[in-house]
Amino acid sequence: MAPRYLTKSRFKLALSCPTKLYYTGKPDYANANDDNEFLAMLADGGFQVGELAKLMYPTGIEIKSKNSAEALAETALHLAQDQVILFEPAIAHGNFLVRVDVLIKRGTVLEVIEVKAKSYSGDPASLSGKRKAIAADILPYVQDVAFQKYVTQLAFPHSTVSAHLLMPDKSKHATVNGMNQLFKVRRNGRNIDVLIDDRARQPGLAETVLTCVSVDHLANEVLNNDIDISGGQGSIQQLSNLWADAYERDERLTPIIGAQCGRCEYRADPGSDKASGFHECWKLANQWRDEDFAHGTVLDIWNFRGKDKLIQAGVVKLNQVTDEDIKLTDDDFGPLTHAQRQWLQINGLPDDCLQEGYYLDRAGLAHEMQSWTYPLHLIDFETAAVALPFHTGRRPYEQVAFQFSHHVLEHDGSVRHADEFLSGTPGELPNYAFVRALREALRHDLGTVMRWSHHENSILNAIKTQLTMDASPPNDTADLIAFIDNVTKGGERAMVDLADVARKHYFHPSTKGSCSIKKVLPAVLQSSPALKATYSQPVYGAKDGIPSKNFVNMVWWQQDVNKEVLDPYKLLVAELGNDAPDEEVEGINQGGAASYAYLRLQFEDLSDPERLSIERGLLRYCELDTLAMVMILQGWLS
């Protein structure tokens, strides 16, 4: 039987919750992260950064075997040399095993280097926190490399071991064009091959955007002090030994529930054929049965930071929470405060809203509308942040705005999908063309421009920064900046945030307090007769119906066998599945998936049909986002 090692990935898992070690790797348990490893590596640039980092060490030798025993034997053979650089060597001690990204041996001095696709400011002082020794955003990476240092030191007690992080450096600029295209990804079954362009091998290229920084003092801080986690307090040495022993024996560590459980990936919906680690933990911790989950838990409270405090006090079910717990000071509902939204979720709707089944502050909404000018312009952006820059002079992780959709709602209620933009061409930085196309779409009148949440505002300001810092700015820079200033916060035509409107004036129990458009749209569809009358017919994309650029005769209002309105974003998946040959396209029903799809267009070795299928999925997804805003407004105003 193969040894059950505590690896660095299992160590990181245990840091989030030690009980997860019992669920990991077991196919009977639901795991939301099972299929996400490829997409996560694609999203954060892990494939490209990892391969570029290796090019910093041209004499490095890669230990390729996935078999632990073979990798350990090959590593030992190479470490018999006095000086050597290894990629992915296997180092074990007892029931610990780590595969180090880069290990440099110079006699009795060992450097453990963890490669992270995590942006670094270029200033070592930024790694330290204001109140704590280590900045919160860098702490997980330091804990990771500290564990590797600990295991390596155990395995080589007579050596000096130091810890380092190698990261994309946002203070550096690319010195070549097309760096992001030098590493293509090809999926080969369950394996991933990275195809490296010969141009990437030029000496010194990696150093132009990557920096290796010593974090040995921070790793020692982690190793020399206790840490607090959901499973208790202790040193890394104590905790990792506890976790390794439990994992080796396949024993479940006693669940200690808290706010972190809300992020548990081992959670299955009722009726699933998969076991739910989350529900097992909560049953054990609370002596619950299945029916105890029926009315919700404190984890469900929207945007509430006091969850841990309540759980520690034994207040676990939603109906145990009082108005004092959430500091409700005013129950006269008008524009909703955070506490009032939370109280509606906990206590239910006011009596005068029970018949409609939702709360809508019509007076507040009418007041908001006094400042709106028709026609209304609904816009949505899709963006990505790419680790390796597109062009000379660009920095790692600059924002890329690759897509927008634009619907128009006229004062007479007529709707049309007016404009769209998509640039998926590999190696093309579309930001300036994106702003030009958006300016052209909005220039024909002075109607109010609307977005959902702050993303669009942030992206336009990021592009403004790129324009102002560009060494060779386009000729129309002044015009583009003037347009951005006009429609962003503080401008004469500043975009209206419909998510903020929803937050203040609308609540439906099914949203659980959330103002995500993915939650609000199904809720409004469920309760609006007007939307049912319109969108239960095949009018969207019909010849004499609502103009659409990507749909034909689409019926958006549909019900399941229980008379519940189907989520349009799930309908989008099913509709794409009718003729989309690539299964990944069917998953483009949320913003993260759209970003992944774009990154596939950039970095994956795709056939033309696959590329066209992904682009088609992106266009339909983004169009639904702006149509969703139209439908929500129509539902509120009907």
Q: Is 82 found in the same domain as 144? A: yes
- DSSP label of 563: S
* Residue 252: φ, ψ to 5°: -80, 125
Q: Does some domain include residue 24? A: no
Helix, strand or coil, per DSSP, at residue 494:
coil
What's residue 36's pLDDT? 64
Structure tokens at 615: 């682009």
Q: Does some domain include residue 401? A: yes
The single residue listed with the structure tokens 């970095």 is: 603
Q: Is 561 exposed, middle or buried (0-12, 13-18, 19+ CB in 10 A)?
A: exposed
Q: Is 197 found in the same domain as 69? A: yes
| 565-578 mean pLDDT | 74
Q: Which of 297, 328, 357 is the last residue of a domain?
A: 357
What's residue 231's pLDDT? 62
Q: Is 82 found in the same domain as 197? A: yes
Q: Does some domain include residue 22? A: no
Q: Does some domain include residue 130? A: yes
Q: Is 192 found in the same domain as 71? A: yes
* pLDDT tens for each residue of 526-562: 999 999 999 999 999 999 999 999 999 999 999 998 8
Q: Which of 357, 391, 426 is the last residue of a domain?
A: 357
Q: Is 267 found in the same domain as 200? A: no
Q: Does some domain include residue 6? A: no
Q: Does some domain include residue 42? A: yes
* pLDDT tens for each residue of 330-377: 878 889 999 999 999 999 999 889 889 999 999 999 999 999 999 999
Q: Is 375 found in the same domain as 350? A: no
Q: Is 163 found in the same domain as 75? A: yes
Q: Is 290 found in the same domain as 320? A: yes
Tell me the DSSP string of 393-437: T--TTEEEEEEEEEEEE-TTS-EEEEEEEE---TT---HHHHHHH
Domain count, the chain: 4
Q: Is 340 found in the same domain as 411? A: no
| 414-436 mean pLDDT | 96
Q: Does some domain include residue 3? A: no
* pLDDT tens for each residue of 42-101: 777 888 899 999 999 999 999 999 999 999 999 999 999 999 999 999 999 999 999 999
Q: Which of 357, 389, 412 is the last residue of a domain?
A: 357
Domain of residue 323, residue span:
259-357
Q: Is 386 found in the same domain as 333? A: no
Q: Is 332 found in the same domain as 405? A: no
Q: Does some domain include residue 555? A: yes
Q: Is 320 found in the same domain as 278? A: yes
Burial letters 465-484, b for 16+ CB under 10 A, else e = ebbeeeeeeeeeeeebbebb
